[in-house]
Each structure stands twice: as structure tokens, then as C-alpha cells.
Chain A
Amino acid sequence: MIRARNLHCGYGGHEVLRGVDLHLAAGEFAALLGPNGSGKTTLLLALAGLLPPLSGGVELAGRDISGLSARERALLVSCVPQGAAAPAGYSVQELVRMGRYAHTGFLGGYGPQDDDAAQAALADAHCLDLAERQAAELSGGEFQRVLLARALCQGRRALLLDEATSALDLARRVEAFDLLARQHKAGSTVFAAAHDLNLAALYCPRLVFLKAGRIVLDGPTSDVFTEANLKDIYDTDLRVAPHPVTGAPQAHLVPGAHAHASLLR
């Protein structure tokens, strides 16, 4: 579904991605992990065709992304951006329906099928109660759910999410990942950048770790989610233990690890 080949990307001479090779097969559910500034957002932007690569390329559904129009790209992948600001003067319903922009013709407006898609997306993202609210009046967490709804409204073939649950409380976070898992079961390709290692390990069968612009680890969760690997990538002490209910590996931080390290040095 999505393939990156020797991808180099950056902003104004500063190279952020330094040769990324990645293949996400159709219907895969993977998490993108890594420390701050490792290039997660940049990689997602490049995969969505929003940031032209310095070299290398991206393929969407077997076609080179530079040959696709903005509309064609939007019909293939939907994105949940990080740190977006709510526009003033639009209701949640209107904002979610904008996800259908790529589905409408040049002259035609939004039709009943667009309203239905928006309604279904709002229901799936548990935002029906927000539909009549003004987008600019929402809390950070509410707005994140609305952005998720907009991505679903746009299309469910491939979803790229950038820290899409960072402002959500515990219950909403589980709700959102349950939704992603359901989409994955229904055939969507889901690639979610996250900071929450444990949530990713709990839900995603595959983890991709990015560090300093390169993929340092990529594989099935049970294989790659080990103490040694995580210590190495995050430069901090931690323990990995199985989840008491599902048995998925979970990382636990060790307090004072850095104070010790600096004392020893």
C-alpha cells in the first residue's frame, strides 16, 4: 500500500530523514515510535505526499506519489495532523464534512452522501455529541477526536496518524485505539506515530522505530519490544514485563535512572 525507497527529506538544507526504506502492506497496523526529533512527523508528511523528498521516493498503491494529483493522494490516504489549530467560525459537522472535499466535483457541492459519511465518521469517533459545537470552542482532546473523525470521513483505505491520541484521557485513548483496531480488522492500513510505547505494543502487531532520521528497528512487536532494544533507542533505563491481561510486552520506567547514570559518569 505504502512504500518508501531510500527516502531523504528535510527542511531548508537540514536533512531530517536520512535514507528510510519502509513497506507497509495493505491492511497492516503498525506504530511509528522513536525519541523526540527522530523524524516521525517528517516521515508521515513524506508518506502522505505533503513534503517532497530530497531524494528517493514514495509509492502509494503501486504508483509513484509525485505523479499523483492532490485529489488522488487524498482519496488514497487520510491524515490526522499533529498540533493543528481549530479554525474559527466552523461547526464540528462542517469541519468533518470538509474531509469529503476530494470526493466532490469542481462544480458540485457537498451532497447527502457526504453528510452521511460525516455522520458515520462522527459516530465511529464517538463525537456525535460534538457535531453542533463550534470547532474553535472544543478542548484539545475533543478537537483531536474531531480530527480523527475527519480522517475517517475522508477515507478509510489508509490512515496516517501523528500523535493522534496525545491529548486524550485514558478512556478516550483506549476508545481511539479500539477504533483503529476495528478499522484494521475491516481492512484499513493504519500507521500511527505515537509516544505511548505501551499503547502501541498493546494494539499494534508491528512496530517501527525511528532514530536520528533512520529506521533502527522494524518488526513484529513481540520480537522488537525488548529491554535491550528500548534502552538503546531511548537512552534510559527501563524494564519490560508482560501485560497482566493480554500478555503483550509493556515497558516500565525506572525512576532516577538518569541521575544515577550521570553520577556514575
Chain B
Amino acid sequence: MMQQGGIPGAKECEKRRDVCPAWLRACALASALLVSLLLTVVLACAVGSYPSTVGESLRALLQAAGFAAGEAVDPSLSVVIVDIRLARVLLAGLTGASLAIAGAAFQGVLRNPLADSFTLGVSGGAAFGASVAIISGMAGEAALSGDARALPACALVGALTALALVLGLSRAGGGPLSGLRRETVVLAGIVVSTFLSALISLLKSLDEESVASIVFWIMGSFQGRGFEHAELAWPYMLVGAAIVFWRARELDVLALGETQARMLGLEAGRSRLWLLLAASLLSGAAVAVSGVIGFVGLVVPHLVRLVLGAGHRRLLPASALLGALLLIWSDVAARSVLPGGAELPVGVVTALIGGPFFCLILARKGLKNRGEA
């Protein structure tokens, strides 16, 4: 029965692949994502409590880019659209792309479909680092002043510490990383994550003044974020993304497992270390400017794999674009669904989308395992 049910699906799959070769699908998806990203920026800049139309948004953006098109936009509206909304959209896009790349890298390195910055506790660690930075006065109250430069660094240290803890907990003896139990990594991540959020709550109760800003790290939000935050984070994100992209082929080889990767000539340990560092850099930078936002890094690579397969040369750029799209729209939802200009934390929106998806992955994995047994 199982066999008969499986074969027609596989045939259809093959047919689809014959009609449309992999590179063509990759190009089509990439251009579709790019076009939707441009459209998204214009549309997302038109949404908000201050009334504006899509046309005004487009004109204001073109004006800011140096192209005068049609009549000039009201200057105060232009400020809202460019300085407030565009900055937010930009930051949401950068954060979404970073989280998606980090998720793809974590899933590839650990060969675990449930791994991402959030489930591994890396985001929690980064949030803890950021909280410590704020409490100890290393970063300004709202992380706006010049000394906020310490923030991404502290978040990165927190992220790496959490990752080291999780990997240490899930190691089953043997060399570093070689004896990792794939199943226990996420379990250890949840333990560390829970522990760290308790620590953050403890810090919060110790320092009443910083409560508001620390809540922000735990929930994740782009409220009141501007160009200066994007400026703070992008160098870290760029370096992290560059390392992961350069090592895309290594991620493919690592997918074969430790022994085969080494047979093919990869120094598996060193490659994993670099990729984990880069993914932590991406997560840390994202958390430093936007707080803990879950599920983007988990969901996006899975969606892309369904269409493009697992080859990381295609998976990574497509994930970055889709991650940016998803988080920009989540932020639009976060700032527009509540009446009267109130905002939802964007982490709530991504969790509402991602939670059910997480269950779907688990259910599919369960079905597959039962089919094999």
C-alpha cells in the first residue's frame, strides 16, 4: 500500500524536474523573489498609522533615491515614509535574511532539520549578552547612542557562549563535534534557552529602570528602530553571510556525514567551526538590533528546499531573499493589525506563522520514520 501510494508522487516529481531543469527553476525563483522584494519595500512603506497611498510611497522612495517622478511628496509624509518606515523595512529585511542564512547553516552543519538560532538557544544567548550590556551600562538605555557599538559584540559573545554550552551538553563523548548526537542538540538548545530567559528575567527584576528595553530583547520588535541600527548591524551580518556563502560547497559535503566528508577531502571539524561561528555572528547581529525573533531561520530554508532541493549554492541566496520578505511582511502585520497604532512584537507574528509549520515538519518526519520502520 505504502509503495503504491509513493510511486505516482515520485513520478510526478520526476516529470516536473524534466520539464523544468534545476538551474531554470533557481533563476525563476530568484527573479520572482527579487521582484517581490522590490514590490514589498514599496508596499510596506505605504502601511502605517499615518495615512499614505502606495503611489505616495513609491514617489517618496524614488525622490529619496534621487529620481524626481511626478509631483513632489509632502515633506512630512516623506519623512515618515523614508526615515521611519523605510529604515524599519531595511532593518527587518537585513534581520530576516541573516536569520534565514544562519538557520540554513545550522541545519546543514548539525544535519538537523529542527536546528536554527532560536531552537539552539543561540538567540537566547545573544539576548542575554545584550541584556548584560544594557544593565552594566556598556550600551545606552535605548541602544541608540554611540556606545551602543558594544551591543552587537556582547550579543555575539552571548551567542557563542550559548552555542558552546548546547554543543557541550549534547556531546556524547569523543572529539569535539564528532560525537554530536543529532537528536539531542535541539533538546539541549531548549534547556539552555529556558535557562537563559530565566536569567534575563532575573536581571530584569534586579534593575527596574531597564525593564522596558530588556522586554524588547526577549520578544523581538522593530518598534522605534532606525537607520542607525541597520548601520550598527550590517558589517557583522555581511561578514557572517560572506563566510557562509564561501563555504556553501562545504555545507553540501557535510550533508554526507563526517566520514564521507573527510573521504572527499574536507577538514570537517575546521569547516564546521567556521560555519558555526559565522551563523552565530549572523544571529548575534540580528538579535542585537531586533531582539529574539523565532522561526524565521527554521521555516525559510525548509520552504526553499521544497522547491530548489538542498544544494546550498542555490539554497542560501534564495533563503536570504525569502527570509527578508517574510520578516518585512511579519513586521507590517505587527504594526498594522492592532487598532489605534498599538504594536505587536514581531516575534509574536513569526511564532504564529512558524509554530504550526514546526508541527508540520515534525509530523512529516514522524510519518517518514514510520514508513521506513
Contacts and interface: CB of A to CB of B under 8 A. Distances in A.
Q: Do A and B bind each other?
A: yes
Interface of A: 12, 45, 48, 50, 69-75, 78-79, 81, 84-85, 87-91, 94, 98-99, 101-102, 104, 106-107, 109-110, 132-134, 137, 154
Contact of A110 (B17, B249, B256, B266): B249
A94 B262 CA distance: 18
B309 interface: yes
A211 to B, nearest CB: 24
A84 B260 contact: yes
Interface string B136-159: 000000000000000000000000
Contact of B10 (A74, A88, A109, A137): A137
Contacts of A45: 259
B29 interface: no
B310 A104 contact: no
A104 B313 CA distance: 15
Contacts of B249: 98, 101, 104, 109-110
Interface of B: 10, 13-14, 17-18, 22, 174, 246, 249, 252-253, 255-257, 259-260, 262-268, 305, 309-311, 313
Contacts of A154: 264-265
A88 B268 CA distance: 19
A173 B206 CA distance: 72
Residue of B265, B266, B268, B305 with most partner-chain A CB within 10 A = B265
Contacts of B262: 50, 70
Contacts of A72: 265
Contacts of A73: 265
B253 A101 contact: yes
B256 A106 contact: no
Contact of B246 (A74, A90, A91, A107): A107
Contacts of A88: 310
A90 B314 CA distance: 12
A160 B17 CA distance: 34
A74 B264 contact: yes
A110 to B, nearest CB: 7
Residue of A85, A89, A107, A110 with most partner-chain B CB within 10 A = A89
Contact of B263 (A12, A81, A90, A109): A81
Contact of A87 (B10, B255, B266, B313): B255
B267 A70 contact: yes
Pairs of residues from A and B, 3 with the lowest C-beta to C-beta distance, nearest first? A89-B310, A74-B265, A102-B265
A50 B259 contact: yes
B10 A98 contact: no
A72 B266 CA distance: 10
Residue of B174, B252, B267 with most partner-chain A CB within 10 A = B252
Nearest to B271: A70
